């Protein structure tokens, strides 16, 4: 019996059987890995899981089938929350006659070397999963610092102030396009533009006063 590791809404679970997966209420934003896959893939790209998502009747068909197999196998299915590690379930699964082609893979899993792959998953998760998760839960817009940029333009030092307003525009633009990372970066740049504007204003104040003292005499 094939075991799956699943990445759904930011949490990783596994190993799990197809039947356990069907109870999680997954949707097509989930990512999945099983032995033989080089990396995490979208759940919809695994045929049997895609079938599972599209209708429960597929699972209903599978579940009655299982008791026809060995008793061992049905035990595994009946105890989905067995706390034993995957190796136990994998070897159980390996004893099923019609899973023989997968036997090699499963044993490698149980022995360790390939087991590292699910743990390499989080890195893949960070890059692959980042987009879908953010699309689901829309973050707040990063601060545009617009008011401070306007105030800096008028009161402190105009050129970085205008740059700050432009960054405020870019922040909102990228945020509306759903590019939250870039929006955050533009927000940071805008904050720096305002800070630079204020600093230049503070530095230039005594300097310009000193210059006019020199020119006009005290």
Partner 1 sequence: MSTKRVVLTVLAAFVVLVGVWVYFYYDPSNPELSKFFPKCPFYSLFGLKCPGCGTQRAIHAMLNADFARAAHYNALLLVALPLIGLYFIADIFKKRWPGFDNALNHPISIAILIVVVVAWVVFRNIFGW
The pair of structure tokens assigned to 40 is 């995490």
Query: Closest approach of Cβ 216 to partner 1, in Å?
Result: 5
Residues in 190-209 that interact with partner 1 by CB under 8 A = 200-201, 204-209
The one among 155, 178, 181, 199 contacting partner 1 by CB under 8 A: 155
List % helix, strand, coil for the chain (3-state, nearest 5).
Answer: 70, 10, 25
The answer, yes or no, to whether the previous bond of 144 is cis (omega within 30 of 0) is no
Residue 128: count other Cβ atoms within 10 Å of its Cβ. Answer: 16
CA distances from 33 to 12, 27, 75, 89, 156 (A): 10, 15, 24, 17, 56
Residues in 161-180 that interact with partner 1 by CB under 8 A = 161-162, 165-166, 168-169, 172-173, 176
Query: Closest approach of Cβ 152 to partner 1, in Å?
Result: 9
The phi, psi pair for 11, rounded to 5°, reads: -115, 145
Residues in 105-144 that interact with partner 1 by CB under 8 A = 141, 144
The one among 17, 22, 153, 187 contacting partner 1 by CB under 8 A: 153
Query: Closest approach of Cβ 173 to partner 1, in Å?
Result: 5
The pair of structure tokens assigned to 174 is 């990228």
Query: Closest CB to partner 1 among 125 and 169?
Result: 169
Query: Closest approach of Cβ 143 to partner 1, in Å?
Result: 10
CA distance 108 to 90: 10
Identify whether the C-beta of residue 20 lies closer than 8 Å to the C-beta of residue 80. Answer: yes
Q: Is 23 helix (H, G, I), strand (E, B) or coil?
A: coil
* Part in contact with partner 1 (CB under 8 A); list of ranges 3-11, 35-43, 54-62, 145-153: 145-153
Binding site for partner 1 (CB under 8 A): 141, 144, 146-147, 150-151, 153-159, 161-162, 165-166, 168-169, 172-173, 176, 200-201, 204-209, 211-213, 215-216
């Amino acid at each position: 019996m094939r075991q799956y590791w699943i990445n759904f809404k930011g949490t990783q679970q596994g190993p799990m059987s197809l039947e356990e997966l069907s109870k999680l209420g997954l949707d097509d934003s989930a990512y999945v890995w099983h032995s033989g896959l080089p990396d995490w893939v979208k759940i919809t790209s695994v045929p049997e899981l895609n079938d599972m998502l599209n209708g429960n009747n597929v699972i209903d068909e599978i579940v009655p089938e299982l008791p026809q197999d060995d008793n061992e196998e049905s035990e595994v299915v009946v105890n989905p929350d067995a706390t034993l590690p995957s190796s136990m379930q994998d070897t159980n699964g390996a004893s099923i006659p019609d899973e023989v082609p997968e036997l090699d893979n499963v044993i490698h899993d149980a022995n360790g070397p390939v087991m590292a792959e699910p743990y390499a998953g989080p890195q893949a998760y960070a890059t692959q999963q980042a987009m879908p998760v953010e699309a689901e839960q829309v973050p707040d817009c990063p601060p545009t610092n617009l008011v401070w940029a306007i105030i800096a333009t008028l009161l402190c030092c105009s050129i970085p102030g205008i740059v700050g307003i432009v960054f405020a525009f870019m922040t909102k633009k990228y945020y509306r396009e759903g590019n939250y990372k870039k929006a955050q970066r533009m927000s940071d740049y805008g904050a720096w533009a305002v800070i630079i504007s204020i600093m230049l204003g503070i530095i230039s104040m005594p300097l310009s006063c000193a210059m006019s003292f020199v020119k006009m005499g005290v």
